[in-house]
Amino acid sequence: MAQAWSPPTESTDDPRTIPTLNGIITSPITTQSWSSGSQDFVVHNVHIQTHDPNLPPIECAMLLDSRMIKHLPKNLVQQLQPAQPCFEIKDAGDKGAGMFATRDIPAGALILVENPVIITPASILLPEKSGAYQTLFNNLPLTAREELLTMTNCRSREECNTDEEGIARTNGTGIDLAFPLGMEKDPTAKEYGAVFLKINRSNHSCGPNAAHKWDLASFSSSLYALRPISVGEEITMIYTDVTASREVRRAKLKRLYGFDCGCTYCDLPDEESIVSSDAARAQLRDWGHTHPGYLKWSTDLCRADDVVIKSHQNALRLIEREGMQGLQCLYMEEIVLSYAILGEESEFRAWGERLLKLCTIQDRQLAEDLQKWLANPKSMKKWAWRKKQRMQTSGSRRRCVVPPSPDMLYLPLLF
Ligand SMILES: C[S@@+](CC[C@H](N)C(=O)[O-])C[C@H]1O[C@@H](n2cnc3c(N)ncnc32)[C@H](O)[C@@H]1O
């Protein structure tokens, strides 16, 4: 539930400056604060050291519950960009500006790592003339503030009474921050949105070719390719749940972002194509509930050996058709694990190598595990476990009937 804000309790026109580690004077900070229920909000800047000691740190101005300040990561350093820049921001016709590939980008590759410029609570409404958003913007260095003010504001004056708030709400993407004990129980207190000057120039598609991942430790988001992107192609991401039907997606995009989605996955030739696309997306949304998964299958010898592999390959075909590659790593991981437990080394390696390229940014832990497994598959705890079990039980009288694996695309196998 959105909460109303009470007016500032303390205000000063006397901004201070603070020195950073390398002695550079950064932008002013404010001591102004606002209360909302039991929460006190302040504007607080985070400083990220650049690689060039002659450049000032990157600033991120946050409108933050004051109790969270001491939980912010410390000694932040700017992350390394890809060696070759691969995008430009330019006119995208009636979408405004957009992000476009300046060279071919392979699936899984990093496009850009970026620190946010502002962070604001996502679910708390400000009272009229609270001045909080202006204070926030004023806490940024001039160039960042000017660039931020050129970003889209699709909110009406009734929804957001200042351009600053409209820009924050149009462009803000959800991020996770750390909370003191007790605060985590309040869902609205946990919701924060971050605005990135470049990443948020990427327009929406219901079959996006890119996604971004927030990392609290480095206080940055990495934008990466979900599938190969060709030079000149627009780089897109999602603004809404793309497993929802076309009608629901379009209504939500219109309400929250003020546009009629005309992406390839919405601009379908006839009713039949719409019904088929909606059904495929709903199936992918519910796949885990209606199809066998690795965990239960792995120890259930009554199931056919290829049941998860076949089912997940069907899911991957639907994912490809609907351009929903953001989901593919989940299925591929289970295929890799299935081949491991079956002890089928060549398939395990082929799928493992493919997945490794795709998941390096999306799931760093999985990428590390995969590297270890690929170096020595037989060191995996359950390597060839199912194969060994089958051999051991082949002479036993206590065998179960193994049902044939589903050839039908969407046969719901409930575990
Ligand atoms: C986060 S901004 C994206 C960058 C924006 N195009 C700009 O010029 O700054 C979101 C706004 O971009 C526009 N937009 C994004 N995706 C779009 C799409 N698929 N079709 C039309 N407009 C789109 C809408 O105006 C939306 O409110």
Query: Three-state secondary structure along 27-68?
Result: CCECCCEEEECCEEEEEEEEEEECCCCCCCCEEEEEEEEHHH
Token pair for residue 14?
């006397």
Residue 127's pLDDT is 60
294 and 225 in a single domain? The answer is no
pLDDT, average across residues 21-45? 65
pLDDT of residue 51: 85
pLDDT-derived band at 18, boundaries 50, 70, 90: very low
Does residue 117 sit within a domain?
yes
Q: Which residue has the higher pLDDT, 75 or 161?
A: 75
- What pLDDT was estimated at residue 403? 54
Residues 323 and 228 in one domain: no
Q: Are residues 105 and 224 in the same domain?
A: yes
Q: Which of 95-104, 348-357, 404-413 has the weakest average pLDDT?
A: 404-413
Whether the CB of 96 sits within 6 Å of ligand 1: yes
Confidence of residue 7 (pLDDT cuts 50, 70, 90): very low
> Ligand 1: does its nearest atom lie under 6 Å from the Cβ of 207?
no
Q: Is the domain of 289 the same as that of 176? A: no
Whether residue 126 is contained in a domain is answered as: yes
- For residue 257, report the distance from its CA to the centre of ligand 1, in Å: 7
Asked whether the predicted pLDDT for residue 304 surpasses 80, the reply is yes
Mean pLDDT, residues 84-111: 97
| pLDDT for position 89 | 98
198 touches ligand 1 (CB under 6 Å): no
Whether residue 340 sits in one domain with residue 214? no
Same domain assignment for residues 233 and 275? no
Average pLDDT estimate for 213-219:
96
Q: Is the CB of 387 under 6 A from ligand 1?
A: no
Is 251 among the domain residues? no
Higher-confidence residue of 2 and 398: namely 398
Q: Whose CA is nearest to atom 23 of ligand 1?
A: 95
Phi, psi angles (nearest 5°) of residue 331: -70, -40
* Mean pLDDT value of segment 276-287: 97
More confidently predicted of 412 and 399: 399
Mean local confidence (pLDDT), 347-364: 97
Indicate whether 207 and 287 sit together in one domain: no
Answer yes or no: are the C-beta atoms of 329 and 224 closer than 8 Å: no
Helix 142-149 / helix 163-171 crossing angle, nearest 10 deg: 80
Sorting pLDDT into bands at 50, 70 and 90, what band is 178?
very high
Mean pLDDT confidence for 208-224: 97
For the entire predicted model, the pTM comes to 0.88
Ligand 1 within 6 A of 95 CB?
yes
Is 16 part of any domain? Answer: yes
Instruction: Write out pLDDT tens, residues 327-346.
Output: 999 999 999 999 999 999 99
Does position 149 have pLDDT exceeding 90, yes or no?
yes
Mean confidence (pLDDT) of the chain: 87
pLDDT > 70 fraction of the chain, expressed in percent and rounded? 86
Residues 6 or more apart in contact with residue 376 via CB below 8 angstroms: none
Domain count, the chain: 2
Please identify, by atom number, the ligand 1 atom nearest to the C-alpha of residue 200.
1
Residue 340 sits in which domain range?
271-393
Tell me the average pLDDT across 7-19. 37
Average pLDDT over residues 316-337: 97
Residue nearest to atom 21 of ligand 1 (CA): 95
What letter represents residue 101's amino acid?
A: A
CA of 18 to the centre of ligand 1 (A): 36
Residue 330 has a pLDDT of 96
**What pLDDT is recorded for position 368?**
98
Residue 245 belongs to a domain: no
Ligand 1 in reach of 153 Cβ (< 6 A) = no
Q: Which residues contact 196 (CB under 8 A, 6 or more apart)?
A: 114, 115, 116, 117, 171, 173, 212, 221
Q: What's the rounded Cα separation, in Å, for the pair 241 and 89?
A: 25
Quick one: pLDDT band at residue 254, thresholds 50, 70, 90? very high
